[in-house]
Amino acid sequence: MKSMIWDHLQTLQEEFQDKFRRTGSPSYETGMERFNQPGWINEVYASPSYRRAHIDVVDARETKGLWMMHVCIFPHTSNDGPVFGFDVIAGKNKMTGAFHDFSPTVNDDHEMIHHFAEVAQTLKWKRERELPDWAKAIFTDSMIAAGNVQDEAEISQLLTTVSGTLDYYLGNIERFNGNADDFLCANAQNRYAHFQKQNPHTPRTMKSLGLDESDVDMFVKECLFPEIDVAGLQQFSERQKRS
C-alpha cells in the first residue's frame, strides 16, 4: 500500500535510528527482547549525552491500515534538562494524532524548554486541546498536539520540526550533565514515567493494532517507561564515596 504519510514517517523512523546509532550504543534491557516481533520494533540506546533513548514502532498497515511510533529520550540523572517525547499514529491518508514535547524534570525554566516553545509557536496550525490531568502533570503548555492532519504541507512541516528539535536535543543535552542532583532528577524522571503510565490511550491503541493484550500490559508496565531504582542509585553513590 503506497502512502505519502507512511513514506514520510518511515523516513523519520530511519532518521531517529541513524542518529541514535551515531550518538549512542544499543542498550540491553531485561525483558525487552520479548517485544521485538514481526511488525513490532523496540530499540534502546544509551550514550554520554543521554541516559535512555527508546524507539518503538508498530507496523499494522497490512492488518489494520495503521502505523505507530513512540520515541522518548531521558537525560542522565545528573542533568536538569527535559525529556524528549514524540508519538504519532497514522493511517494511509492522515495522521490521526501526533504529539511532541520537551517535558521538564527538575527545571521547568530550562533554556531547552524555552527553545522548544519558540519552535512550537511557529506552527500556527497546531490544534489546541484540553489535556487530561495525567498529561497536565508532565507536559508543557507548548506541547505540539496535532490531530486529523491530512495536508501534505502541514505533515512536512510537522516532521521537519521534529527532525530539527531532535538535532537540537542531541546537540545540546550533554551540556547540562552535572547540573543537578542525581536523586532529585531520578525522582523527577520517575514521576514523568508514572504519569505516562496513566495514559489509557497507549495500551488501548496498541491492543487495537492487534498486539497481544498480555504483551501490551507487560510492555507498558515494565518496558515502555521503566523507572529508576532510586534506592540502588543511593547505595551505588555511597559505595563510590567510600572507595
Distances (CA, A) of 213 to 28, 122, 194, 207, 216: 24, 39, 20, 6, 5
Residue written as cell 512541516? 157
Model confidence at 230: pLDDT above 80: yes
Query: Mean of the pLDDT values across residues 116-136?
Result: 81
Q: How far apart are the first and last CA of the chain?
A: 60
Cα–Cα distance, 104 to 142 (Å, whole number): 12
Query: Mean of the pLDDT values across residues 112-121?
Result: 96
Query: Mean of the pLDDT values across residues 224-228?
Result: 95
Model confidence at 192: pLDDT above 80: yes
pLDDT of residue 238: 58
Q: Which of 197, 192, 191 is nearest to 218 (CA)?
A: 197
Q: What is the CA radius of gyration of the chain?
A: 18
Point out the least confidently predicted range of 46-50, 148-152, 192-196: 148-152
Could you tell me which residue, 148 or 69, shows the higher pLDDT?
A: 69
pLDDT of residue 243: 55
Return phi, psi of residue 118, to 5°.
Answer: -65, -40
pLDDT of residue 239: 57
Domain boundaries of the chain, sorted by first residue: 4-242
| Span 140-162, pLDDT tens digits | 999 998 888 888 888 889 999 99
Model confidence at 185: pLDDT above 80: yes
**CA angle, residues 39, 44, 48, in degrees to nearest 5:** 160
For the record, the C-alpha cell of 127 comes out as: 490544534
Model confidence at 240: pLDDT above 60: no
- Starting from the edge strand earliest in sequence, which strands make up the sheet with 66-74, in order? 25-26, 40-46, 52-60, 66-74, 83-91, 95-103, 144-146
Cα–Cα distance, 127 to 134 (Å, whole number): 19
Can you give the pTM of this predicted structure?
0.94
Cα–Cα distance, 11 to 4 (Å, whole number): 11
Model confidence at 236: pLDDT above 60: no
Model confidence at 42: pLDDT above 80: yes
pLDDT of residue 149: 83
pLDDT of residue 146: 85
Query: Mean of the pLDDT values across residues 8-28?
Result: 97
Query: Mean of the pLDDT values across residues 68-91?
Result: 97
Model confidence at 128: pLDDT above 60: no
**CA angle, residues 195, 198, 199, in degrees to nearest 5:** 105
Three-class DSSP category at 76: coil
Of the chain, the percentage scoring pLDDT greater than 90 comes to 81
Question: Which CATH code, of 3.40.1500.20, 3.40.50.300, 3.30.470.10, 3.30.43.10, is assigned to 4-242?
Answer: 3.40.1500.20
Question: Is 140 in contact with 116 (CB distance < 8 Å)?
Answer: yes
Question: Is 209 in contact with 66 (CB distance < 8 Å)?
Answer: yes
Beta-strand ranges (E) seen in the chain are 25-26, 40-46, 52-60, 66-74, 83-91, 95-103, 144-146
